[in-house]
Structure 1
């Protein structure tokens, strides 16, 4: 099956290596950033969520008005608006965008960040609330008759939404997290379960956990799997690593830098031996503690330098090397690749020229071979061709 590529945009020029430029909401930059992803051939763009960031649905509406086919993945934290209102908001956006919306559910792993928006529930209860929230969201999109609920976190009666999504039966749900609670809730609800970029063995363990949770929830088809990386490309291996170490030096010199969704303050670990609250960051730091370089091209030094505040592991090398590294993850069941750079807009265009065509050409070759009966597929539809095979390397090199 074709691999899905997701980028990420913000409303101004900023990254871990670049200080903010321009106003917090720069409509022209936002438009150009989104159009760069459409030009580069991305399937979707993620619009992040932060307690101090612009509203994602408004950003998505602006992007939808200035693009033609680009999918919109809007990050959303349950608990701050009623699920009945959220259902109508996203359904309306889906109608106006022509069925291009997906929702990325982030329950929230940092107590201080949650409190800024008035949420004081502990983490495990937040996941329980998310479970109830997503039940309501799904029913709002799919049921024609009024319904009510006397739940643990939400109570309402005789609710009916006249606006339904353009997509049927409902808007796709993506879900992020790396804790047991995240596996349980995401395994039940998610169409795509999103992970940060860990080494292959650890990623395979997480995929197994997600699939086990889906099976326990009574699902016959597990969620598809997304993994996030920060590719750093160069014309040669030496050039790529020279750029990578320059990026790392900048990160270290700047300290707790900002991101697309606001400052990293209060979500970074502080003090000797301090650990971030969220399981995803803990896992990235654990991988970094084992070594800087893993598998074919996974580089964990940026995660260590930033306290793993976000998707912060890199894939370093030539386009051919990084493409094959991404295909290694496809080989273990990954269907969606979320990639973003440290020079955000420029890197998106480079990925479109140098990286996406290589991965897509090899995945298409494998699909053709599978159709001819020469390979099998696993339960996700991903090719079961062995990672790192000589044939795959030749195909990737030839696709450039």
Structure 2
């Protein structure tokens, strides 16, 4: 990174923990308006500032017609945060690569080098057609590969101070540019890191050839290991190395019993029709990853804890009605930390979490689990070295004693 205010990516074996900005809505219960919260600037700022203060590595902003636009939302949060990185989606087919490169460079410059880019090809044909994209699965991935080649070259060449060396010409089957050029380069060289997730053969090849971090949804460890091995092997064939990440929800409480009770409450307002409608919509998608998520809850037929706990502490209940990431880690702080370490042992070092409601759960997860993990927390800016006291002062004079195993690690002190 070029910005000294951003924690460096150099800590050995450190895990990068990201949170989630719920621009498609937030609630205490899935599938109902009960306990729901309005998506507005005030609320997304609260979530972002909580993640920033607690030391999360960054936040993911989702994309799609059910969400507020991620670039607009992230831009509104630059000045509200200090260190937080923003993992923002670009969608080939909706945005041309030269414009996307300009957007990325501008955001990276204005945020002080805090942009992470999430390439989203898309797997919902109905949604894509509504946005004017009528390509089939194979053509979309071919377009995504060409998009990245152009995007990466434009951003890379933008650092060249020689005028004649900046322009990019490319002629592909899906996309072409002639004389594409970027005047203002991004702060990060050669370009902001690229994240990408997909489970099809075309997605694996794209990840192996071009992306920096390959993301998987939360499947059982054995299935995740198979996916990682395949992408790793293909990347090596291209002479490249790829880092890996996973997208999960989390339900953590001080005891295992409390955590499973919270999981039950989260889906307690669902009825058969809501689940059936959601599963019917998922079945129409051509996304291999979404199909794998649906298989984990048997197309919505599994409802009991025993059937939905598909691996120790891995629960498929969220996927009953939520598209995309449909699994959650459920358990006590130590159980959740153990499962994270189990995934980390497979080679994963990026973990993107979310929980309902996202504001409270950002705090709960950080307070209960951060102390149990080897994680890379954001560095404080100079002059911000708070030393406490932490917790409520008792009887106007007694300061609570710190307990190293449970003290909230707001930010690293190194």
The correspondence of residues 2-13 of structure 1 with structure 2, limited to 5 A, is 2-11=14-23, 13=25
- Cα–Cα, structure 1 residues 275 and 84, in superposed 2: closer, same or farther, change >3 Å? closer
Aligned to 1:206: 227
Match of 1:167 among 174, 181, 188: 188
Q: Alpha-carbon deviations, 1:146-170, whole Å to 9, x = none? A: 1212221222222211111101121
Does the residue aligned with 1:269 lie in a helix, a strand or coil?
helix
Q: Alpha-carbon deviations, 1:18-75, whole Å to 9, x = none? A: 63533x5x22112111001112221010111112532211111111111000001001
Aligned to 1:317: 331
Superposed CA RMSD in Å reads 2.5
How many angstroms apart in 1 are the aligned matches of 2:254 and 2:273? 27
- Cα–Cα, structure 1 residues 153 and 28, in superposed 2: closer, same or farther, change >3 Å? same
Does the residue aligned with 1:351 lie in a helix, a strand or coil?
helix
Aligned to 2:296: 287
Query: More deviation in 275-284 or 321-330?
Result: 275-284
**8 Å CA contact retained: 2:24, 2:67:** no
- Cα–Cα, structure 1 residues 181 and 137, in superposed 2: closer, same or farther, change >3 Å? same
Name which one, 1 or 2, has greater alpha-carbon Rg: 2
**Is residue 30 of structure 2 the alignment partner of residue 14 of structure 1?**
no
The CA deviation at 1:116 is 1.3
The CA deviation at 1:193 is 0.6
The CA deviation at 1:14 is 1.8
**8 Å CA contact retained: 1:13, 1:29:** no
What is the count of residue pairs matched by the alignment? 351
- Which residues of structure 1 form unaligned runs of 5+? 258-264, 365-397
How many angstroms apart in 2 are the aligned matches of 1:54 and 1:309? 16
Aligned to 1:231: 250
The CA deviation at 1:252 is 4.3
- Cα–Cα, structure 1 residues 287 and 254, in superposed 2: closer, same or farther, change >3 Å? closer
The CA deviation at 1:294 is 3.5
Does the residue aligned with 2:374 lie in a helix, a strand or coil?
helix
Aligned to 1:116: 130
Aligned to 1:270: 280
- Cα–Cα, structure 1 residues 180 and 311, in superposed 2: closer, same or farther, change >3 Å? same
Q: Alpha-carbon deviations, 1:122-179, whole Å to 9, x = none? A: 0111000000000001001101321212221222222211111101121100001111
The CA deviation at 1:219 is 2.5
- Cα–Cα, structure 1 residues 112 and 42, in superposed 2: closer, same or farther, change >3 Å? same
The correspondence of residues 241-252 of structure 1 with structure 2, limited to 5 A, is 241-252=260-271
**Is residue 154 of structure 2 the alignment partner of residue 133 of structure 1?**
no
Does the residue aligned with 1:158 lie in a helix, a strand or coil?
strand
Q: Alpha-carbon deviations, 1:260-302, whole Å to 9, x = none? A: xxxxx8xx4329x956431112112323349422433111233
Q: Which has the higher helix share?
A: 1
Aligned to 1:297: 313
- Cα–Cα, structure 1 residues 11 and 108, in superposed 2: closer, same or farther, change >3 Å? closer
How many angstroms apart in 2 are the aligned matches of 1:3 and 1:254? 40
Aligned to 2:100: 86
Give the TM-score normalised by structure 2: 0.79
Does the residue aligned with 2:170 lie in a helix, a strand or coil?
strand
Give the TM-score normalised by structure 1: 0.82
How many angstroms apart in 2 are the aligned matches of 1:28 and 1:206? 39
Query: More deviation in 147-156 or 123-132?
Result: 147-156
- Cα–Cα, structure 1 residues 53 and 245, in superposed 2: closer, same or farther, change >3 Å? closer
How many angstroms apart in 1 are the aligned matches of 2:97 and 2:168? 13
- Which residues of structure 2 form unaligned runs of 5+? 1-12, 378-403, 407-414
How many angstroms apart in 1 are the aligned matches of 2:66 and 2:259? 34
Match of 2:65 among 34, 38, 51: 51
- Cα–Cα, structure 1 residues 296 and 254, in superposed 2: closer, same or farther, change >3 Å? same
The CA deviation at 1:12 is 7.2
